[in-house]
Amino acid sequence: MPKMKGADLITEYLIASKMPYVFGICGHGNVGMLDSLYQARDRIKLVSPRHEQVAAHMADAYFRVRHEAVATLTSCGPGSCNIVMPLACAITDSSAILAITSNVPTSQFNRSPFQEVNAHYQADFPNIIRPVVKRSWQPTRVDMLPLALRQATTTMLSGRPGPVNVDVPFNVYQEEGDVEVPKPAPKFGTQRSGASPEEIAACVDLIQKASRPVIFIGHGVTLSEASRELTEFARSQQIPVISSPNGMGCLDMTDPLSLGFIGRNGAYPANEAGRHADLVIAIGARFDDRSASSWMSGYSWNFPHTRLIHVDVDHAEIGRNYPPDIGILADAKAFLEQLLSELERRRIDGAPRLQPWHAAIAGWRAEWQDFIRPGFETHATPIRPERIVADCRAVLPDDAVISLDSGIHHNWFMQFWEARRPQSMLNTWGYSGMGFGPSSILGAKLAAPERPCVAICGDGGFTMVPHVLCTAVEYDIPVVWVVWNNFSWAAIRDLQYAYFDGREIGTAFTKGPNREPYNPDFAAWARAAGVDGHTVTRSQDFAGVLEQAVASGRPALIDVHVDADVRPPGTGAWALPPLKPFSDTVHIYPSPALFGVLRTILLVPLSQSVCCAGATVKVGVGSTCTVRLIDAPLQPPATGVIW
């Protein structure tokens, strides 16, 4: 067996695992590893952004776009601590990352050397990172590395994917051992679990009996690459599809069966279908609070009155929030293949049986279109948010990748974006970390260099990681950032308005005694970094500037001034218990065609009433308030409104 340094073993394993990149930042703790990467620089490339957070977000996006994992490399102490937040984003969104962290030399364990954490245990970084990875390994000898690397990558890619950590002491990089490069882990998606024949038969029995079924898909369908099987199943049975953001595009969202997202900022037809359904077939979806209206019955879903088939590769998600009638531990693609086979065997056609259901959905869809159309057709300064979504969809090709940060802009894209393909809409959904959008797009472009890659990010989120501009220039990564500039943390500002009597503090970006709106000149900032910079204040100009930026083949930033006082319609609900909106009056703004029908005074639960396009007001248990129908323009007042 040849003698190898630990760093060389790690490098050769990454190359054997077909990882073309390491996203990492130097430090004294990993200099030995850096030299090995230098020696292999013609076979694996180190990309070094200006912050470890960006490195992990880049690796996260690389996996989401290609379903192939890459590694991050960080030094001991604060450098590795900087990846905790992006790893939390990755584990909650089931994204695989091999996080190689560094630690102090084993000979100095428990002696409090520079950057050791040892209050409870020596060299204790694995306990810092443990909650945000599937598992952490700390090999303290070179001969421990082969097993640790093989187990780590196998764990990372098996079952529900997620980040893992290998924490390497400084000396292990440089010491030698009689070791061989271990065999790479099986490729992601090559090992799939399926349902039993009895479970499949029971599912088909429920589907055959249902008169109002819907399919609810999540990231599990995307990860399983089950778009073809999902589309075939939905079309053969004519069952409408509701999607979580990380499942968007698995069914082309221009397909008549696509209802869009569900929940607080979901599409109205999706929420209406979800709460009226008599059967929900959930595949690779979690029923989190934002896609389940905080689990309040009758707003987005209506369990247990609605029957539920819940399929997931992770046993912990089945029944976490809603006990299923049939719970199946299976891979989404394998399950759908089995389901299609059984439906074909029985020759079941759902189309004739579901015609009344499709008629009801067509009515909700028409109401929704009538309601939202004016916002999409209006040109204004500052720009209405709908125009940004519409122009991005008009300009970007179907295979473009967009990444979205946390913020009010994400609500608009969840509600109105029409993804045409899977793995094309990257969201920080589970942990919602700011900085994901502008950082991850760099990794997305490296994963798909032939596809346009555009980040839509808030002004607040972008200012957390502005150094992404430097990385794009240094490594010639031609991405486009659209900075949604509304001079505020608008989503949190609106929560303050709604819950605290219209008061606001700490959410507006202002300067001077008169609190004039303030932000840096983002376009000038970009140009200073060597990136093309544009400022757009008129909605008529945005599409042309975006088209130019994408076509340029250079990194570009577009500073878009967006109206902060136009809010996304709330067609579901989202609770922040025990808070309730301050106003006793909830104003509902129905579409003009429905105003006469709804001119009445109703009693509904405080903080739980929702309106859009004359939607039925949901009544449940709780304190009450007066609901008044207002014959007025569609744009509601800024405060005291559930919209």
Q: Is the pLDDT of residue 602 over 60?
A: no
Are 500 and 384 contained in the same domain? yes
Measured CA to CA, the distance from residue 267 to residue 570 in angstroms comes to 9
Q: What is the rounded distance in angstroms from the CA atom of residue 544 to the CA atom of residue 540? A: 8
Cβ-Cβ contacts under 8 Å for 568 (sequence gap 6 or more):
265, 385, 408, 411, 412, 415
Residue 478 lies in a domain: yes
- How far is residue 410 from each of residues 86, 425, 427, measured CA to CA in Å? 18, 11, 8
How, if at all, do strands 98-103 and 71-73 pair? parallel
Mean pLDDT of 502-522: 94
What whole-number distance in Å separates Cα of residue 101 and Cα of residue 184?
Answer: 20
- Please report which confidence band the pLDDT of residue 77 belongs to, taking 50, 70 and 90 as the band edges: very high
For the ranges 290-294, 476-480, 623-627, 638-642, which has the lowest average pLDDT?
Answer: 638-642
Cα 58 to Cα 78, 193, 248, 288: the distances in Å are 19, 29, 20, 25
Q: Is 393 found in the same domain as 520?
A: yes
Q: Confidence band (pLDDT; 50, 70, 90) for 582? A: low
Indicate whether 369 belongs to any domain.
no
Helix, strand, or coil (residue 623):
coil
Task: Please report whether residue 635 resides in a domain.
Answer: no
**Which pLDDT score, from 0 to 100, does residue 640 have?**
30
Q: Which of these three, 178, 205, 225, is where a domain ends?
A: 178
Q: Compute the distance between CA of residue 374 and CA of residue 359 in angstroms, rounded to an integer.
A: 24
The 3-state DSSP class for residue 461 equals helix
Strands 164-169 and 136-137: parallel
Distance CA 425, CA 415 (A): 13
CATH number at residue 74: 3.40.50.970
* 443, 489: one domain: yes
Q: Is 230 helix (H, G, I), strand (E, B) or coil?
A: helix
Dump pLDDT digits (tens) for 481-505: 999 999 999 999 999 998 898 899 9
Token pair 């003009």 is at which residue? 592
Mean pLDDT across the stretch 626-630?
Answer: 36
- Amino acid, res. 81: C
* Cβ–Cβ < 8 Å for 168, 103: yes
Residues 6+ apart with CB under 8 A from 48: 23, 24, 25, 26, 55
* Nearest in space to 276 (alpha carbons), one of 245, 254, 301, 253: 301
DSSP character for 106? G
Q: What is the mean pLDDT of residues 163-184?
A: 97
The residues, ordered by sequence, that sit 6+ positions from 1 with a Cβ below 8 Å of its Cβ are 178, 179, 180
DSSP 3-state of 259: strand
Residue 368 lies in a domain: no
Residue 488 has what DSSP assignment? B
Tally of domains in the chain: 4
Q: How far is CA 585 from the centre of its chain?
A: 34
Q: Which helix (H) or strand (E) holds 260?
A: strand 258-260
The residues, ordered by sequence, that sit 6+ positions from 262 with a Cβ below 8 Å of its Cβ are 216, 242, 244, 270, 271, 274, 291, 292, 300, 572
Q: What's the pLDDT at 604?
A: 30
| Residue 159, pLDDT score | 95
Do 388 and 353 lie in a common domain?
no
- What confidence score (pLDDT) does residue 116 get? 87
The DSSP symbol for 562 reads: B
253 pLDDT above the threshold of 90: yes
* pLDDT for 610: 37
Which of 257, 611, 258, 591 is CA-nearest to residue 417?
258
| Domain-located, residue 192 | no
Q: Are residues 73 and 103 in the same domain?
A: yes
Same domain, 392 and 431: yes
Residue 570 confidence class, pLDDT cut points 50, 70, 90: confident
Residues 432 and 465 in one domain: yes
Between 80-94, 339-353, 574-588, the lowest mean confidence (pLDDT) is in: 574-588
**186 inside domain:** no
* 337 in the same domain as 446: no
Q: Taking a C-beta distance cutoff of 8 angstroms, is the pair 74, 83 a contact?
A: yes
Contacts of residue 450, defined as CB under 8 A and 6 or more positions apart, other chains included, come to none
| Domain housing 243 | 197-362
Q: Are residues 60 and 124 in the same domain?
A: yes
pLDDT recorded at residue 331: 97
- pLDDT of 585 above 90: no
577, two tokens: 């218990």
Task: Please tell me whether residue 457 adopts helix, strand or coil conformation.
Answer: strand
Q: How many CB atoms lie within 10 A of CB 360?
A: 14
Euclidean distance between the first and the last CA atom of the chain, given in angstroms as a whole number: 69
What mean pLDDT is predicted for residues 437-457? Answer: 98
Task: Check whether residue 15 and residue 141 sit in a common domain.
Answer: yes
State the pLDDT at residue 501: 87
With cut-offs at 50, 70 and 90, classify the pLDDT of residue 349.
confident
Is 345 domain-assigned?
yes
Confidence of residue 613 (pLDDT cuts 50, 70, 90): very low
Q: What is the mean pLDDT of the chain?
A: 90
- Does one domain contain both 80 and 127? yes
Asked if residue 356 and residue 383 are part of one domain, the reply reads no
Domain end position, chosen among 337, 362, 387: 362
Task: List pLDDT tens digits, range 388-412.
Answer: 999 999 999 999 999 999 999 999 9
Distance between CA atoms of 178 and 365, rounded to whole angstroms?
A: 66
Q: Is 311 helix (H, G, I), strand (E, B) or coil?
A: strand
Position 617 pLDDT exceeds 50? no
For residue 223, give the CATH number of its domain. 3.40.50.1220
